[in-house]
Structure 1
Amino acid sequence: MKKHLCSIILLLLMGSHLWAQTKQPNFLIILGDDISAKNIGCYGTKNLNTTPNIDKLANEGMVFKNMFVSEAICAPTRAELYTGLTPNNNGCNFNHAATKKGTLSIVQHLNTLGYRVGLTGKTHFRPASVYPFEFIDGFTKNANYNGTPPENWDGVTEFINRDKNQPFCLIICSVHAHAPWNAGDSSLWDPNTITLPKNLADTQQTREYFTEYLAEIKLFDEQVGRARKLLKKSNIENNTALIVLDENGAGMPGSKWTTYDMGVRSACIIKWPKGQRKTVTKAITQYCDIVPTLIDAAGGNVPSNLDGKSLLPIITGTKTTHREYAYFLYNNLKEGPEYKIRAITDGTYKFIWNTSPNNLYAIRVINGFDYGYVDKMEDRHVRKMYLSWLAKAGYDKNASKIVNRYRNRPEFELYDLNNDPEEMNNLADKPEFTSKLNQLKNALLEHMNTQNDSFLQKDKTDS
């Protein structure tokens, strides 16, 4: 009798163990706004004490060193993240554009697998039919919020604890560190001693706004910390995959609105539920890979029409490589004079093709005055920063170089990302790099053909 009883108990224990292994994980994605990965601690910032919670998470999970967005503007970034499709395929390939009707998003994919899918905070996507999230109150949707917005975590708490028998996916969309940069405590850093990225002209105005920007990154970091405490308090930390992303780069000249790394390289830290230890991967990955990863982890079959590929083999360690290249585009529609850019990286070199090199590169909120745009916001921070660059460019060689790099682009750019991470030294005209340039150019053209992206061919025909 005792022998049979022991056998029954053993079977029950084995069954509960198998159930725990196969139970669908929850997903919590925390998404920043206009933060360049290089300004986060675990990605090498020299401005300390900015992201202690994110850095702690990095010490417990997987850090993706080569995660990229396809287009460094808010709407295309979010459409790619939520659909698993690149901008040309989902239809949102310029800012404020709509995703193609009939496209399936993270909501439908996970609903089919039994998940409830919620979102709180910033949206910046349409139409509603593609993105039927359960919207949760508590975080502001206003990216241009003036000052520190209030937060209420009651809705988030209710959502994740509503039904422990149904898995959830929740996306917390912060508005930090979107301009204006006037939230948080900037006194934690001295504007005179902070380290600026090399792609920014060193002016007092730049230093002051960059300090405010760091304060907003810290607010985002605090949200990450609070979310982790909530998971632990709710006793669901061990069955929740936590993904922290910083969206596209800082809303400063030469970052957001470009294909430079300061715009397209994203922080991505993932803590998987099953006893993951600190890992750093240099596998080339893109935002469109997130949705396939969640479908795969939830036990579904990843649709073959998605551009993204599941990251689970990277997360579980069965593979160390993911993509040969990452691809980028920028369409300056509604943001300034027509300007189209295409780019590619193999993780070591970046090739950029500016299709309108004779045109002025301008963004309405930064240097719209260069083409007659009158900004309704008279006190816009990024424009005041840029104006300080122009003033210094009149007498400072380095500032002049940075301003010229921003406004006037050659047709081809090639950068060594290992030795020149801020992409300040163009190698495109150097004979010893001709082979590498042609290799990347051909790979880019091949990718464009698969994406039905005819912009470059059309521009070449018309020129």
Structure 2
Amino acid sequence: MTKRIILIIFCFGLFWQVLSAEQSDNQKPNILIIMADDCTHSDLPLYGGQNVKTPHIDQLASQGMTFNNAYVTMSMCVPCRAELYTGLQPVSSGVCWNHAIARTETKSIVHYLGDMDYRVGIAGKVHADPRSVYPFEMLKGVEGNCVSETAKYDSAGLKEFMAGDEEQPFCLVTALVVPHIPWTVGDLSHFNPKELKLPPYLADNKETRTEFAKYLAEVEVLDQQVGETLALLEELDIAENTIVIFTSEQGAQLPFCKWTNWNNGVHTGFVVRWPGKVESGVRSDALIQYNDVLPTLLDALGSKTKAEFDGSSFVSVLLGEKDSHRDYAYFMHNNVPEGPAYPIRSVTDGKYHYIRNLSPENLYIERHLMARMPLNKYWPSWVFDASDDPEILDLVTRYQKRPAEELYNLVDDPNEMKNLSNQKEVSGIQKKLSKELDKWLKEQGDPGAGLDTYEELQNARKGNHFKALND
């Protein structure tokens, strides 16, 4: 009798374990996306940065997969966020300029996950219009103004949203405003400008070192806020059932970074932690772009949507089933409204990066970086010092006067200091990438320089995307 009772108890316990496991497997994971704002990926220790410590970002990476080759299509806030939220590249969504709105028929992550019974909220910087395309639940507590001189962060609103309904999973975008200019927060005493190791694309003078130290102080604050956000998952005991994505967005508001197609502009930091699915502490060389993220999340959740995206799922990379994803990543830049028209298109295969400047006869001008004093004190010092410093003169010249074509070896020259364009030994590579770029422009319906006008931007803001071109 005793043995029979023991056997019944054992079988019941085994049945309960199996049932609990099935329920756990069927439970949809939460999603937490943490975005930096204008953080050059190569300044993070995770990608070789030597000037600032980011222990929380590093710890997250030790628990998941770090992507070495992740990119945005446009190195500007509004277009890259539209790409992330819609799975579409700029011409498809209509967001081909900074501060442009998406086509009203566009669907975003809010719609797709909402159809799967997810609560989808955003805290901090939004920079996504119109509201009908991005109907996020708006959360308070995180600074939303990227040009504020503060970086307010109160986790109470995030915690309340996360804990809101245990039966309904959530997707939360925590869009931080650091280290977007103005660089006014953080502890400057942690950084000695004279001892900083400046990247080679920055002019080495007092003003640059001073401003770079301020920027690094904000990167340190970024890491602190990442840590506070991740701690909420542990506090609520939901970390094991939450997919976490950290991304650094585009490069900082420094020459050769944001508002360019150069590597330090379009290359983004990207880490994914998915407990029980993604191996801890691994790195991937797979080529991915922001428009791949939404299809990947939907695939991970078992969505059966028939929506068409420009991107595609890299779940197989996350699960360790494949080492590669896309063959090429593509980039574009329309300088309007950040300055006079200066259209750029480019493509990379992960090793070589081919850039085509569509109006090389023009002088490149970015009014925020060059003219908005006192936010940018370094650029005037570059111009002044160029008079008697040939290295600084070369940087100023390279930034403003660009050739029709550029080609860089990203493996040997990640900061893209040596243009290999038209060199005999790489002529075949240049021709191949140029042909691939032409193919992409045709597939996207991208007319090139014709988009980079104030008329097209104004039409798009009215919802008449590409009206002048169609007329």
TM-score above 0.5: yes
Task: Specify which of 411, 417, 430 is matched with residue 424 of structure 1.
Answer: 417
8 A contact 1:41–1:52 mirrored in 2: no
Q: Does 1:278 align with 2:281?
A: yes
Following the alignment from structure 2 to structure 1, what is the Cα–Cα distance between the partners of residues 313 and 224? 29
Equivalent AA in structure 2 for residue 41 of structure 1:
P
Per the alignment, residue 371 of structure 1 pairs with none
Take 2:414 and 2:305, find their aligned partners in 1: how far apart are those partners?
A: 34
In structure 2, the residue matched to 1:374 is none
- Residue 15 (structure 1) shift: 1.6
Please tell me whether the aligned partners of residues 24 and 299 of structure 1 are also in contact (alpha carbons under 8 angstroms): no
* 2:375 corresponds to: 380
Q: Residue 366 of structure 1 corresponds to which residue in structure 2?
A: 369
Write the distance in 2 (CA, Å) between the matches of 1:173 and 1:288: 17
Does structure 2 conserve the Cα–Cα contact (< 8 Å) formed by 1:292 and 1:302?
A: no
Deviation of 1:318 (Å): 0.8
Match of 2:18 among 14, 34, 57: 14
Q: Distance between the aligned counterparts of 2:26 and 2:302, measured in 1?
A: 9
Cα deviation per residue 1:46-101 (whole Å; 9 max; x = unaligned)?
1142x111011111110000000000000001000100101111110110010110
The answer to whether residue 334 in structure 2 is matched with residue 339 in structure 1 is no
Partner of 2:309: 306
Cα deviations across residues 175-197 of structure 1 (Å, max 9, x unaligned)?
00000111101211110011111
Write the distance in 2 (CA, Å) between the matches of 1:198 and 1:67: 22
Q: 3-state DSSP class of the match of 2:272?
A: strand
Aligned equivalent of 1:255, options 237, 257, 262: 257
Q: Which residue of 1 aligns with 2:467?
A: none
Distance 2:107 2:142 in 1: 25
8 Å Cα contact 1:64/1:280 also seen in 2: yes
- 1:331-352 CA-to-partner distances (Å, cap 9, x unmatched) read 0111111110000001100000
Aligned with residue 119 of structure 1, among 117, 122, 147: 122
Residue by residue over 1:360-419, the C-alpha shift from the partner in whole angstroms, topping out at 9 and shown as x without a partner, is 111111235xxxxxxxx54122xx211111111111111011101100000000001111
Which whole-Å CA distance do the structure 1 matches of 2:197 and 2:373 have between them?
28
CA distance in 1 between counterparts of 2:233 and 2:424 reads: 55
Partners of 1:65 and 1:216 lie apart in 2 by 23
Q: Which residue of 2 aligns with 1:170?
A: 172
Corresponding residue number in structure 1 for 2:84: 81
Residues 146-225 of structure 1 correspond to what in structure 2 (within 5 A)?
Answer: 146=149, 148-225=150-227
- Residues 257 and 330, structure 1, Cα contact 8 Å, conserved in 2: yes
What's 2:318 paired with? 315
Counterpart Cα distance in 1 of 2:305 and 2:193: 48
Give matches, 1:264-275, under 5 Å: 264-274=266-276
Residue by residue, what CA displacement relative to the aligned partner does 1:262-298 show, whole Å, maximum 9, x if unpaired?
1100000111121631110000000111111211122
Amino acid of the structure 2 residue aligned with 1:300: S
Other structure's SS at 1:267 match: strand
User: How far apart, CA to CA, are the structure 2 residues paired with 1:236 and 1:5?
Assistant: 30
Q: 2: distance between equivalents of 1:396 and 1:430?
A: 28
Decide which of 68, 72, 84 is 1:69's aligned counterpart.
Answer: 72
| Match of residue 458 from structure 2 | none
Number of residue pairs aligned between Structure 1 and Structure 2: 447
Do the aligned partners of residues 67 and 182 (structure 1) sit closer, same or farther apart at CA in structure 2, a change above 3 Å counting?
same
Is the Cα contact below 8 Å between 1:88 and 1:453 reproduced in 2? yes
Which residue is equivalent to 2:235? Answer: 233
- In structure 2, relative to structure 1, the CA distance for the partners of 1:56 and 1:458 (3 Å cut) is closer
Q: CA deviation at 1:5?
A: 4.5
1:119 alignment partner AA: I
Equivalent residue number for residue 29 of structure 2:
25
The percentage of aligned residue pairs carrying the same residue is 40
Match of 1:65, SS?
strand
Q: Distance in 2 between matches of 1:132 and 1:330?
A: 27
User: Is this contact kept in 1: 2:52–2:216, CA < 8 A?
Assistant: no
Structure 2 counterpart of 1:361, which letter? Answer: Y
Gaps of 5+ in 2: 453-471
Extract unaligned runs of 5+ from structure 1. Answer: 369-376
Distance 1:228 1:11 in 2: 34
Greater shift in the superposed pair: 40-49 or 8-17? 8-17
Q: CA contact under 8 A between 1:284 and 1:325: conserved in structure 2?
A: yes
Deviations along 1:11-39, whole A, 9 cap, x unmatched? 22112112212311000011000001000
